[in-house]
Structure 1
Amino acid sequence: MFNIRRRSLHLPGTLVGYLFLGFIAIILGIFLYFQTLVREVRDSTKITSKIFAEFLKTETTAYGVAPEPNPEMEIIFREVIKNIDFPVVITDERGIPRAWRNVDIDLLSVSNEMLENVDPQNPPEGPVKRLIEITRRLDKENEPIPMLYGGKIKLGTVHYGETSLVKQLEWFPVIISGVIIVFIIVGFLGFSIARRSDEEHIWVGLAKETAHQLGTPLSSLMGWTEILKKDNPKEIIEGLEKDVARLHKVTNRFSSIGQLPKLKEGDVNSVVKDSVDYLKRKLPTIDNRIVIKENYDARKRVLFDFDLLSWVIENLVKNAIDAMDKKKGLIEISTRDSSSAKYVEIRLKDNGRGIPKDEVRRIFEAGYTSKKFGWGLGLAITKRIVEEYHNGRILLESTQFGSGSTFLIYLPAINRKNKKT
């Protein structure tokens, strides 16, 4: 029905692209920085584990008997081993846990008797089995470090995992990225709301300024009409009075934008028929190439503003007329009660150009128009009048490019039991 084009202001595409790339660069920078920190912490953990293994290898004989105390080794144990902040399990040559730190099992809860004759492949239920399972989990995180005596005899193995700091650092860039994305979304929504608010103010200002500008010539026309009445040129007077009445209606329409209209109970058929009759009189091309079929079956009454609702009908009919590119155009207008009796339906169907699929979702946005010098406000104002002022709904029921479109309006019907459905 309409060949829609976009006529609105946007941020330059290159600026939006640069902003997007900037945010991506920040997120990648944060991610790479924390990955570097994670790698450094892991390297530190690995070095500490190797020192631990070397210490145990030196302190342990092939038979598991400790030599005489060594003051230097005591310093290493006190300054390095006791400060380990990551999970570590020491197993003997058979894979049986002999010592552990920073795991969820108390060292004193497992006795030497419990470790004797344990099969590491099939341990009994209890803390020993949990220790062996923890050991296997640690091996998945980091490669275990064997303790070899003389380079050949295996005395045991050091199994170590990740420090809690590593896990925090791994999640931190994800959290930061999420926060940045949330801020971007909130900022975008805030910008959209602010822009929409500005558009609302522009619309209201435009409407009120238009009403103000129309007021002056209206007053003048009314004065001239009174003067002409004295000379009694009847035909001229009637025409002037109709145009003055029309200008009053236009003024009332624009004055109503930006404030809640006073809705009155009435018959939808009357306002639709009045609007169509007016267009038939004012648009001579209709008689030559366009046929308007009318069918008014609505029985339910609704609350509406006559001037605003007639504006809606006129906008839809005018757009249908403008979309006609055939020698014989057809516009069908009908009203009826909905099947649920909760609404009154107004349907307008035409056989014009139709709407391209990629434009369908945007036809009610301000700034889209098929006219070379149009403002692109017709359908946007129509939607606002129907949905915000009359609590109804307007939608594009169907369209096919090259074959026409159908618009459908729902208005809440009055129910006598509870005044308004």
Structure 2
Amino acid sequence: MSLFQNTFWLKRVVVLISIVIVSLILWNTYIFFQKFKEEERGKMKVFAAAMKELNDNTDLNADVTLPLKILENNQNIPSILLNSKGEIIESQNLDSLKVLNPKYLEKQLQIMKDQNDPIEISYKNTQKQYVYYRNSDLLYKLKYYPLALLLILGLFITIIYMVFKSSKVAEQNKLWTGMAKETAHQIGTPLSSLLGWIAIFRTENIDQMYVDEIEKDVDRLNIIANRFSKIGSLPELKQHNIVSITKTVFSYLESRSSKQISFSFNASQEEINTQINTELFGWVIENLIKNAIDAMQGKGTLDLSIKNTSKKVKITISDSGKGMHKSQFKQVFKPGFTTKKRGWGLGLSLSKRIIEDYHKGKIFVQKSEIGKGTTFQILLDKF
């Protein structure tokens, strides 16, 4: 509970800090933008004053070095000079080729009118001119600077979220792994007792068929305990005859299923050897057969076939159940997806992980049709 509360508050502190950082960035950028904009307007006022000084000065011997220097230094703020009639006299810091097009100048003038108020120049001869200007390229870049910072901050928050999420998933996996191993450990105690009882039953006057069936179920429980004990650790793969392993699981489930289901097992008589973990591979076959039985609701046909090709071993399980839509072919392997009223949706997800992650094979829905059934196929490499 303490870890959960710490994580709960830590997430909120991170979100709060992020909001504060974003707010400060936006506010400081806005202030800086406004100051920079005021500075540019100040420069343009000085530029206008220099133009006025040059036009008003009628003394040919007067020193006009300073006004000329000011006009020359305006290299980054685009501007257009208009007379009192609204006609364009000249332009500065615009594309030298594009200014030959009147439409380009009109478009630039409209942008300048939208961005800034004009600066009026009044001359001695009562003539007036107006300087229109737009923001410099540097100011444009500054305008989009907060967006870049927000994107960086968003990326940072995404990384933090993914770290939190992966940490949570790892913690949950660790919890489930611990529970699985503890379950296997707890099952071990009654299993030992049951094995002792079976030994006693064999010495008593009890029908041996019953004892054999009880022993099969005890062996089954032992297999289940071994499966749970292997969760969370890398399983050991050994070379086995996949036909006999599959047949054992198939026969066990056949004997304990509805007699209204017709079971069919087809495989070559020769051994087909491949690298598998018997407990985990048997778990996959069991999941597929149980899903097929549930899909048929206790009545129908179930066919399992094993084919030996040059490079692959193909295990195919078909049923005559309710089938599924093609859009569900991949969804059925996602954790939590189930069509049963009672089910966790973990069987096929676990089967996919066992086959593809541990055995480096492939499992998929080969075909399915609503009302006619489904066929799953497993591909394993031969050794």
Smaller-chain TM-score bracket: 0.7 to 0.9
Structure 1 residue 54, shift from structure 2 partner: 3.6
Aligned to 1:404: 373
Aligned to 2:152: 179
The whole-number CA distance in structure 2 between the counterparts of 1:252 and 1:164 is 70
Note if contact 1:355-1:400 (Cα within 8 Å) is conserved in structure 2. Answer: yes
Aligned to 1:323: 295
Aligned to 2:112: 142
Confirm or deny that 1:210 pairs with 2:183.
yes
The whole-number CA distance in structure 1 between the counterparts of 2:122 and 2:237 is 93
Confirm or deny that 1:87 pairs with 2:77.
yes
Confirm or deny that 1:313 pairs with 2:285.
yes
TM-score normalised by the chain length of structure 2: 0.73
The whole-number CA distance in structure 2 between the counterparts of 1:184 and 1:33 is 21
Q: Which has the higher contact order (CA 8 A, sep 6+)?
A: 1
Q: Alignment length, in residue pairs?
A: 356
Confirm or deny that 1:391 pairs with 2:363.
no
Structure 1 residue 69, shift from structure 2 partner: 5.5
Consecutive unaligned residues of structure 1, counting only runs of 5 or more, are 1-15, 105-127, 415-421
- Report Cα offsets for 1:139-175 as digits up to 9, x if no partner: 4663586856445476xx8575533541332221221
- Report Cα offsets for 1:92-139 as digits up to 9, x if no partner: 999678xx7xx79xxxxxxxxxxxxxxxxxxxxxxx957968xx7894
- Report Cα offsets for 1:279-335 as digits up to 9, x if no partner: 11112x1x21x223333259753111122111110111101111224x852323222
The whole-number CA distance in structure 1 between the counterparts of 2:266 and 2:275 is 21
Aligned to 1:419: none
Distance 1:165 1:92, change over 3 A: closer
Distance 1:193 1:172, change over 3 A: same
Confirm or deny that 1:250 pairs with 2:224.
yes
The whole-number CA distance in structure 1 between the counterparts of 2:76 and 2:235 is 71
- Specify the code of the residue in structure 1 equivalent to 2:77: P
Q: Alignment RMSD, CA only?
A: 4.5
The whole-number CA distance in structure 1 between the counterparts of 2:180 and 2:144 is 53
The whole-number CA distance in structure 1 between the counterparts of 2:31 and 2:196 is 84
Distance 1:209 1:28, change over 3 A: same
Consecutive unaligned residues of structure 2, counting only runs of 5 or more, are 1-10
- Specify the code of the residue in structure 1 equivalent to 2:219: A
Note if contact 1:332-1:350 (Cα within 8 Å) is conserved in structure 2. Answer: yes
- Specify the code of the residue in structure 1 equivalent to 2:282: S
Q: Percent identity?
A: 31
The whole-number CA distance in structure 1 between the counterparts of 2:31 and 2:353 is 55
Structure 1 residue 217, shift from structure 2 partner: 0.8
Match of 1:190 among 163, 170, 173: 163
Note if contact 1:139-1:159 (Cα within 8 Å) is conserved in structure 2. Answer: no
TM-score normalised by the chain length of structure 1: 0.68
Secondary structure at the residue paired with 1:261?
Answer: coil
Aligned to 1:59: 54
Distance 1:410 1:203, change over 3 A: farther
Structure 1 residue 238, shift from structure 2 partner: 2.0
Note if contact 1:59-1:66 (Cα within 8 Å) is conserved in structure 2. Answer: no
